[in-house]
């Protein structure tokens, strides 16, 4: 049994739940299916702790809302919540110092935003407070569970495969539109708009470009995958994704402490892409169309400051844009303004502690594990300055990747320690000199 829970406890709980399923089946079939699924999860997790978190990874890329019972829960949120629950119960302990530090940073943010939950009592406020904790702490636990059980490589390859499916879909849809004379940004079914597609593809593309040694991905294959992702991102026309990826690649090639040297020729592609984005924004302002995205953002920035000033210290409540308390019905398209309006100066301080602290913690992790982790988190922070931040997949996926990197490092360290102990035991068993044994 690989779980920390006693085997007898799991068997007893499973038996009781099986009896409950038999009782509920003819009366409440939906609850019976849910309970049966939970029994299955417990059984599978008892055999392999990371099995369910690993299976959840592709579902993190699904933004479609479930809509059952009037809920606004997305498939990505549900998969993350289930995976985090299993990881919390079954993931290997102890957590590494880096992971513990990240979890404490999440606690600091949750405490800072708790003030607005108390000051603005409504359901969406409390639910979003819980949601934010799951998006980061839950994502870290899911990633840790996968990496700590030695499945880090499988997890990242599975995410690359999922991203390739999305990228191919985006490119195919783009070709169809271009042949019809339509050069607008790409929007796919299941609520996959251009910024969702662009940001998750940019995060996944970072895996291919960084290509940590333990991923065992050939350079030629990694380059081809990255180029395919880059093409798909360009087709989406997501400016925040392009800028975020450009910043990440620039940091990667300019950082001196790294696992291997990388060519700085990528800067020749980064600079033109940023120039193109700036040109597009300039053209939008020059057009005089006050309804385009550039003018809309300027208007929303001003409205956000006005709303924040009504309660500057603790904010007006998380997800206030889902209420009728303020006119406009917009969500601030900037991470700092989003947090500032929702949770005030106290919440903004907690958010900066969370994000800046996470980057610093991951920056200190050895580059063969920490490079990818710090870049995806940094990329998400940069993306969030150009659009909304607290959204399901776009925020959770980077922290899942960070958790996988930390878990993989812990697994490699454990394997190396185990092999060293076995080697030492074998040497002692062959009759080492008594003085050598004493020294050991």
Least confident piece of the model among 145-149, 185-189, 259-263: 259-263
Q: Give mean pLDDT, residues 160-188.
A: 94
The answer to whether 62 and 190 have CB atoms below 8 angstroms apart is yes
| Spatial distance between the Cα atoms of 119 and 115, rounded to a whole number of angstroms | 6
Q: Give mean pLDDT, residues 108-125.
A: 94
User: DSSP string of 185-231?
Assistant: PP-BTTTB-HHHHHHHHHHHHHHHHH--GGG---HHHHHHHHHHHHH
Residue 149 is predicted with a pLDDT of 93
Residue 435 is predicted with a pLDDT of 43
Residue 118 is predicted with a pLDDT of 95
2 pLDDT more than 60: no
Task: For residue range 339-368, list pLDDT tens digits in order.
Answer: 999 999 999 999 999 999 999 999 999 999
Residue 11 is predicted with a pLDDT of 56
Mean pLDDT, all residues of the chain: 84
Length of the chain as a residue count: 440
Domain boundaries, the chain: 1-47, 50-420
Read off the pLDDT band of 431 (50, 70, 90). Answer: low
Residues 6+ apart with CB under 8 A from 348: 336, 339, 340
439 pLDDT more than 50: no
| Spatial distance between the Cα atoms of 90 and 95, rounded to a whole number of angstroms | 12
Task: For residue range 121-159, list pLDDT tens digits in order.
Answer: 998 899 999 999 999 999 999 999 999 999 999 999 999
Q: Give mean pLDDT, residues 190-197.
A: 89
Residue 49 is predicted with a pLDDT of 78
Read off the pLDDT band of 206 (50, 70, 90). Answer: very high
| Spatial distance between the Cα atoms of 364 and 318, rounded to a whole number of angstroms | 32
% of the chain beyond a pLDDT of 70: 82
Residue 29 is predicted with a pLDDT of 59
% of the chain beyond a pLDDT of 90: 54
35 pLDDT more than 60: no
Read off the pLDDT band of 275 (50, 70, 90). Answer: confident
Task: For residue range 41-86, list pLDDT tens digits in order.
Answer: 656 655 677 888 998 899 999 988 876 544 567 889 988 998 998 8
Residue 28 is predicted with a pLDDT of 52
Three-state DSSP at 324 gives coil
| Spatial distance between the Cα atoms of 170 and 231, rounded to a whole number of angstroms | 9
Residue 359 is predicted with a pLDDT of 96
Task: Give the residue with greater pLDDT, 183 vs 14.
Answer: 183
Residue 6 is predicted with a pLDDT of 45
Q: How many helices and strands in the chain, by DSSP H and E?
A: 17, 0
**pTM of this prediction?**
0.86
Least confident piece of the model among 19-28, 62-71, 346-355, 426-435: 19-28
Q: How far apart are the first and last CA of the chain?
A: 33
């Amino acid at each position: 049994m690989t779980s920390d829970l006693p085997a007898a406890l799991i068997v007893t709980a499973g038996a009781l739940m099986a009896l409950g399923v038999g009782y509920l089946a003819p009366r409440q079939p939906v609850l019976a299916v849910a309970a049966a699924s939970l029994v299955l999860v417990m059984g599978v997790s008892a055999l392999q702790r990371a099995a369910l978190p690993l299976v959840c990874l592709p579902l993190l890329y699904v933004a479609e809302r479930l809509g059952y019972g009037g809920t606004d829960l997305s498939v990505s949120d549900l998969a993350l919540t289930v995976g985090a629950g299993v990881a919390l119960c079954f993931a290997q302990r102890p957590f590494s110092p880096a992971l513990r530090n990240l979890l404490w940073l999440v606690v600091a943010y949750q405490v800072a935003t708790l003030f607005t939950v108390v000051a603005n009592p409504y359901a969406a406020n409390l639910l979003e407070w819980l949601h934010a904790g799951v998006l980061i702490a839950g994502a870290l636990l899911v990633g840790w569970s996968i990496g700590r059980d030695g499945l880090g490589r499988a997890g990242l390859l599975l995410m690359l495969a999922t991203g390739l499916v999305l990228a191919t879909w985006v490119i195919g849809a783009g070709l169809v539109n271009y042949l019809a004379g339509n050069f607008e940004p790409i929007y796919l079914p299941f609520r996959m708009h251009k910024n969702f597609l662009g940001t998750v593809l940019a995060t996944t593309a970072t895996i291919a470009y960084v290509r940590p040694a333990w991923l065992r991905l050939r350079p030629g294959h990694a380059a081809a995958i990255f180029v395919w992702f880059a093409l798909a991102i360009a087709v989406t026309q997501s400016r925040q994704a392009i800028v975020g990826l450009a910043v990440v690649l620039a940091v990667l090639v300019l950082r001196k402490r790294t696992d291997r040297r990388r060519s700085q020729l990528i800067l020749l592609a980064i600079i033109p892409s940023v120039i193109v984005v700036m040109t597009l924004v300039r053209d939008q302002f020059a057009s005089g169309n006050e309804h385009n995205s550039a003018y809309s953002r300027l208007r929303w920035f001003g409205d956000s400051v006005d709303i924040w000033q009504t309660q500057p210290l603790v904010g007006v409540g998380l997800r206030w844009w889902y209420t009728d308390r303020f006119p406009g019905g917009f969500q601030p398209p900037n991470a700092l303004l989003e947090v500032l309006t929702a949770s005030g100066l106290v919440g903004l301080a907690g958010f900066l502690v969370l994000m800046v602290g996470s980057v610093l913690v991951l920056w200190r992790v050895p580059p063969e594990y920490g490079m990818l982790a710090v870049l995806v988190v940094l990329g998400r922070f940069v993306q969030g300055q150009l659009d909304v931040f607290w959204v399901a997949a776009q925020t959770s996926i980077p922290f899942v990747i960070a958790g996988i990197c930390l878990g993989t490092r812990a697994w490699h360290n454990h394997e190396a320690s185990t092999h060293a102990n076995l080697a030492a035991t074998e040497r002692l068993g062959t009759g080492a000199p008594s003085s050598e044994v004493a020294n050991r």
